[in-house]
Amino acid sequence: MHTVNAHGANIPALGFGTFRMPGPDVLRILPKAIALGFRHIDTAQIYRNEAEVGDAIQASGIARSDIFLTTKVWVDQYKHADFLASVDESLNKLKTDHVDLLLLHWPSRGVPLAEQIGALNAVKQAGKVRHIGVSNFNTKLMADSVALSDAPVVTNQIEYHPYLDQSIVLDAARAAGMSITAYFAMADGKVPNEPLLKDIGAKHGKTAAQVVLRWLTQQDGVIALSKTATESRLSENFDVFDFDLSGDEMAAIHRLARPNGRIVSPGGLAPDWDRVD
């Protein structure tokens, strides 16, 4: 498995995401994903499936040290004491004494960012978290987080797919030595039907979905989260490192970006997004 290194965090470049995946589906599909070779698993408190993720990892027969496990603290737990308690609850559900990466799930104006970053550092110093990061942050919030943190901020997990130009955030992350973790890579189902992606895939004997996962992971410092509840799709999502896209193919995929390409922007949570001129 290819890895991305950011401030000493060696993160498998392809992760298995569990967003919108009910517990029974996690228990059914995650063991198969681990058996296939997935070693980076992404969950969150708000997904309500941490316990099932923990059960699947524990039953997998794979050493916990061989799994890179990410979870995220929800915005209603950002006050310092609540944050610490919520992390203990997550660890209990996940049946582990630490997670490899802990993220602030969304920005929140309700608690000072310094308090949020302080809590991230506190759980890292306590040995409950190996690395810390953020999610859905714009470049201003990224820079503020880095400035406020004693520990390195290793990733910003953001929506990223061919229809959304994230070059501003990517440039800022690279300048700060951070990685970008891409979610919604399939653009909520649009990718598999995109003619350009299907044409490129045909040249490589790959599907459009595989092309996009390769497009993401072929970019410097980018990690891609894949997700499926369909067993037959697991091997398709995993089999993306045996080919390379040409410079022209990479550029053509980038050109699919459009001004209205963002899909995820919930009111009350979304920051002022960076805009490409």
The residues that are catalytic are 47
Per the annotation, does 105 bind a ligand?
yes
Burial of 127 (0-12, 13-18, 19+ CB in 10 A): exposed
Q: What are the CA-CA distances from residue 95 to residues 17, 55, 173, 191 (Å)?
A: 18, 7, 32, 35
Dist. CA 124–CA 122, nearest whole Å = 5
Q: Are 151 and 123 in contact (CB under 8 A)?
A: no
Q: Phi and psi at residue 259, in whole multiples of 5°?
A: -60, -30
Tell me the two tokens of residue 208: 């459009």
Dist. CA 52–CA 55, nearest whole Å = 5
Dist. CA 208–CA 233, nearest whole Å = 12
Residue whose pair of structure tokens reads 């973790």 in the numeric block: 181
With a CB cutoff of 8 Å and minimum separation 6, the contacts of 120 are 102, 104, 129, 132, 149, 151
Q: Are 211 and 204 in contact (CB under 8 A)?
A: yes
Binding-site residues from annotation for substrate: 105
Binding site membership: which residues? 105
